[in-house]
C-alpha cells in the first residue's frame, strides 16, 4: 500500500551541506588570509610605536664612525622623565666629543608634548651613550635626540669606542662662556652708554676748567 508521499532521493555526499554553507566556506579562506596579512603588517608597527623606535629610519653608519664624527657624544644616566618618557633629565658622567652641562635635558623629539613615530623614549636609571641629533638648544641645557639617532643603552661591550681622552661635563653653567653668556646682548648698549657718559664727563670737566681760568 502506498501513501502517496514521495520521499526525496538521498543527496550525493558532496551536496550534503546547504549552498549557503559552501559560500561561507569559500569566503572564509580569503578573509582569514587577509586578517593574517593585516596582523603581520600592523603588529610590528604597534610594537615599534610603543618602544619609540621609528618606522622609517634610514640605515645608519657603523656606530664607531658616528662616534668619531658627531658634534656631541656623551655618557649619562637618566634620572627623571616626562612627556610619556620622551623627555629625560640626564646626569652626564663622560663627555667624548663636544661640551655638555650636567644635568642636561634630552628630548626624544622636537616637541615632547607631541608624539611622533620617530620619537625616542627613555627609562629612568638606564645609562646611555648619547649621540643627539640637534644641539641648537645646548646653551640652555637642552639637546634633541631621535629614535633614528645612534644613541644606545650603555654596555661594557661599547667600551672599546671610548676615546683616549675623556672629558667631564660642564658644571654650574651651560657653556664655557660662563654664567653671563646669556647677557651678551647687553654688551653693545652698555658700551654705547659708557662712551656717551665718558664723553659727557670730559666735556663737563673741560668747561669747568675754562670757567676757573
Residue 174: predicted pLDDT = 41
Whether the predicted model's global pTM rises above the 0.85 cut: no
How high is the pLDDT of residue 98? Answer: 94
Q: What residue ranges of the chain have pLDDT lower than 70? A: 1-56, 112, 172-195, 197-199, 202, 206-207, 210-213
Q: Which CATH number fits domain 63-161: 2.40.50.120, 2.102.10.10, 3.40.50.2300, 2.60.120.10?
A: 2.40.50.120
Distances (CA, A) of 129 to 12, 35, 85, 162: 72, 40, 17, 10
pLDDT, tens digit (0-9, with 9 covering 90-100), for 117-161: 889 999 999 999 999 988 888 878 889 999 999 999 999 999 999
Decide: 154 and 94 in contact? Cβ < 8 Å. no
pLDDT, one tens digit per residue, over 72-86 is: 999 999 999 998 999
Strand boundaries in the chain, DSSP class E: 73-82, 87-97, 104-107, 127-130, 142-144, 152-153
CA–CA distance, 38 with 30 (Å, rounded to integer): 12
Amino acid at each position: 500500500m502506498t501513501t502517496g508521499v514521495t520521499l526525496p532521493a538521498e543527496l550525493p555526499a558532496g551536496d550534503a551541506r546547504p549552498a549557503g554553507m559552501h559560500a561561507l566556506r569559500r569566503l572564509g579562506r580569503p578573509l582569514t588570509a587577509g586578517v593574517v596579512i593585516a596582523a603581520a603588517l600592523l603588529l610590528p608597527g604597534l610594537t615599534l610605536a610603543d618602544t619609540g623606535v621609528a618606522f622609517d629610519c634610514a640605515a645608519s653608519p657603523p656606530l664607531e664612525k658616528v662616534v668619531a664624527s658627531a658634534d656631541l657624544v656623551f655618557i649619562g644616566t637618566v634620572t627623571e622623565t616626562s612627556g610619556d618618557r620622551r623627555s629625560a633629565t640626564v646626569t652626564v658622567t663622560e663627555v667624548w666629543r663636544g661640551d655638555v652641562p650636567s644635568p642636561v635635558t634630552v628630548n626624544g623629539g622636537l616637541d615632547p608634548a607631541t608624539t611622533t613615530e620617530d620619537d625616542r623614549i627613555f627609562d629612568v636609571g638606564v645609562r646611555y651613550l648619547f649621540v643627539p641629533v640637534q644641539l641648537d638648544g645646548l646653551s640652555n641645557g637642552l639637546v634633541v635626540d631621535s629614535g633614528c639617532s645612534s644613541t644606545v643603552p650603555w654596555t661594557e661591550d661599547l667600551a672599546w669606542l671610548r676615546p683616549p681622552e675623556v672629558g667631564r661635563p660642564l658644571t654650574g653653567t651651560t657653556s664655557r662662556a660662563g654664567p653671563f653668556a646669556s647677557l651678551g646682548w647687553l654688551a653693545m648698549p652698555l658700551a654705547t652708554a659708557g662712551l656717551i657718559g665718558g664723553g659727557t664727563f670730559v666735556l663737563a670737566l673741560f668747561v669747568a676748567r675754562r670757567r676757573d681760568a
